[in-house]
Structure 1
Amino acid sequence: MKPSLRTSRFAALGAGGVVSVALLTGCGDDGTGGTGNADASASPGQQQRSPAQVVQATNKKTTQARTARIKLATTVAAGGDSETITGSGVLDLQDGTSRMRMGQGGRQLEQRIVNQVLYQKPPEASGQLPAGKTWMKIDLQRLNASQGTGGPAMSDPASSFAYTKSLSEKDVRKVGDESVNGVSTTHYRVDLDLSKLAGGDSAQERKLRAQLGDSVPVDLWIDEDGLTRRQQIRMTVKDTAQSGGAGASARQAQAKVVMDFSGFGTDVDVAAPPRSDTVDVTDKVSRQSGTSSRTG
């Protein structure tokens, strides 16, 4: 399979940047504060809660499940073309450790995240690695620091959902009752506030808007136990590294990532590959994707 030349880079941005945002909004801080009117449709016998309070509570309950199986589908569309990358594996909901197989068509790669380091094993004969190496390594903390996005929300899934503590009722609405993989859930939509996500850091907010666009709707499907069963994120991915800045000339693509969670409590036993088998490409990735972070 030969990927479209128009969208292959955007697919890479989607698989990397969008997944990081999925983790960013999917698990972490256990704050459960909230305000607003009670949700009259709450289950009998349970404390009535507003949509914002339900979304805040699902973070704590899902994280307390510790681990889960995950299925991922990322679609990136640009210039009339689209590409979809799918994956499945296991995820530690508390520290972000994960193991997944991801790919497009018949081309698959293995991905691991251990101690904030991402490892990817490309298909054999891909020509992406030096002789004798089978894994590429990206230090996520170092990458974030080099691009000025080193706050915990961008690197540590275990502390990344803190913005929910400041959700207001205008940020969340109930869509309706729906079934996800045979499980009854309630669908909620969150309008992600990038200023809150940036924690009041105006420079960080500008970088997030340059990379993700101004509107980032997040959809959550929450079961009767308060666990997140599906999460969907839509955003505008800006390829500012290729255009040389974050202005109007930056090429854009529409990205959607859907993450399904099941098998809560499953074993997650993931180890980093042997150092002798890896090559560190953190600096290369930083040079390729960091232009937008150094501008503005």
Structure 2
Amino acid sequence: MSTSGFRRAGVALTAVAVIAGAAGCQGGGSGSGGGTKAGSGGVAAVSPIAALRTVEQKTSGAHSAKVDGTMVMGSAMTVTMNGALDWADGITGAMEMKYTGGTMADAMKKAGGNGAVKARYLSDAYYANLGDALAAQTGGKHWIRYGYADLSKLMGASGDVMKDQMQNATPDKGVKALLASGDVKKVGEEKVRGVSATHYSGTVDVAKLSEKNAALSADQLKAFKEQLGKAGVTTEKVDIWVDKNDLLVKKSESGQLKTGAFNSTVFYSDYGIAASVEAPPAADTVDFTKLMNRQAAGAS
């Protein structure tokens, strides 16, 4: 695989973290947390802003969940994923992804892969296993390590955005965005994979984000605006579904990035699940920066 090919693969694989948000996917249902006790209980009994403040706190405090969903980023990728993530201190956990369309899937097929990727998120790095076919091009090592500190050096401003998303794309970010927008409405009661949920919707206009309603300080709001701005996001439609325990069970986001239109649908379930993960064996791992240097030396 050429150096440019590995660079493109690295960009796409690190971008996938948006969905664990982002990142950037999750399943319906939940297992912890108490409801808002006003009226009949749960988020349905209070105003949208008050309800979402409780949802943000409960979801943030739950720390972990099973995740599954789908993300489309313009012509770059269509990817499905599932796994378990912990956000008690940044993002850690393991996910399995399948690239089914876009230039990323095409590049993986040309390189001999089938679009399947196993991923591990640790505090300092993201690890990707692209299978046996691509391991043949990395000296037989299955795992590629992408150090978060290296992303800025490799990709500049876009690397800064990806680094932040990989480390901080927690499920409650969508709730915080709606709170900061001030544009939130209750759509109604719906079923999400058999679970009764309250649907909220709003449009996030980056230029109009305000700390008035947000669960964010002035500095946090400034950083949040900068993150969206670097990604080229000006407006974003966000829909969330919340169960009777004030926990997020589904999130849908759509908008426009510098690289094209994006949309994602993510489901959350089994809150509080153990999602610990270890780095792959060093003997089966190659660092992306070393791989880049090796490829560059071979091409010169």
TM-score w.r.t. the length of structure 1 is 0.67
Q: Kindly report the root-mean-square deviation, in angstroms, between the aligned alpha carbons of the 2 structures.
A: 4.0
Q: For 2:14 and 2:139, locate their aligned partners in 1 and report how far apart those are by CA, in whole Å.
A: 28
Does the 8 Å CA contact 1:220/1:231 hold for their aligned counterparts? yes
Aligned-pair identity (%): 26
Q: For 1:68 and 1:271, locate their aligned partners in 2 and report how far apart those are by CA, in whole Å.
A: 17
Change in CA separation of 1:17 and 1:185 when aligned onto 2, cut-off 3 Å: same
Change in CA separation of 1:258 and 1:271 when aligned onto 2, cut-off 3 Å: same
The equivalences for 1:71-220 within 5 A come to: 71-78=68-75, 84-95=78-89, 96-105=91-100, 107-126=115-134, 129-144=137-152, 147=156, 149=160, 154=165, 155-157=167-169, 161=173, 164=176, 167=179, 170-194=182-206, 196=209, 199=220, 201=222, 205=225, 208-220=228-240
Q: Which consecutive unaligned segments of at least 5 residues does structure 2 have?
A: 1-7, 27-37, 101-113, 210-215, 293-300
Change in CA separation of 1:156 and 1:107 when aligned onto 2, cut-off 3 Å: closer
Q: 2:22 maps to what in 1? A: 22
Change in CA separation of 1:108 and 1:13 when aligned onto 2, cut-off 3 Å: closer
What is the deviation of 1:215? Answer: 0.9
Which of 226, 233, 236 pairs up with 2:246? 226
Q: For 2:118 and 2:225, locate their aligned partners in 1 and report how far apart those are by CA, in whole Å.
A: 32
Q: Deviations over 1:149-195 (max 9, x none)?
A: 37996433569849939936832111221111110101112333535
Does the 8 Å CA contact 2:78/2:99 hold for their aligned counterparts? yes
Q: For 1:159 and 1:104, locate their aligned partners in 2 and report how far apart those are by CA, in whole Å.
A: 22
Change in CA separation of 1:186 and 1:67 when aligned onto 2, cut-off 3 Å: same
What is the deviation of 1:271? Answer: 0.7
1:279 maps onto 2:292 in alignment: no
TM-score w.r.t. the length of structure 2 is 0.66
Structure 1 or 2: larger helix share? 2
What is the deviation of 1:274? Answer: 1.8
Q: For 1:91 and 1:176, locate their aligned partners in 2 and report how far apart those are by CA, in whole Å.
A: 29
Q: For 2:13 and 2:139, locate their aligned partners in 1 and report how far apart those are by CA, in whole Å.
A: 26
Q: Deviations over 1:31-67 (max 9, x none)?
A: xxxxxxxxxxx75156842212222221221233232
What is the deviation of 1:277? Answer: 1.9
Q: For 1:87 and 1:281, locate their aligned partners in 2 and report how far apart those are by CA, in whole Å.
A: 22
Change in CA separation of 1:257 and 1:265 when aligned onto 2, cut-off 3 Å: same
1:54 maps onto 2:31 in alignment: no
Please, which moves more after superposition, 257-266 or 57-66? 57-66
What is the deviation of 1:118? Answer: 0.7
Q: 1:39 maps to what in 2? A: none
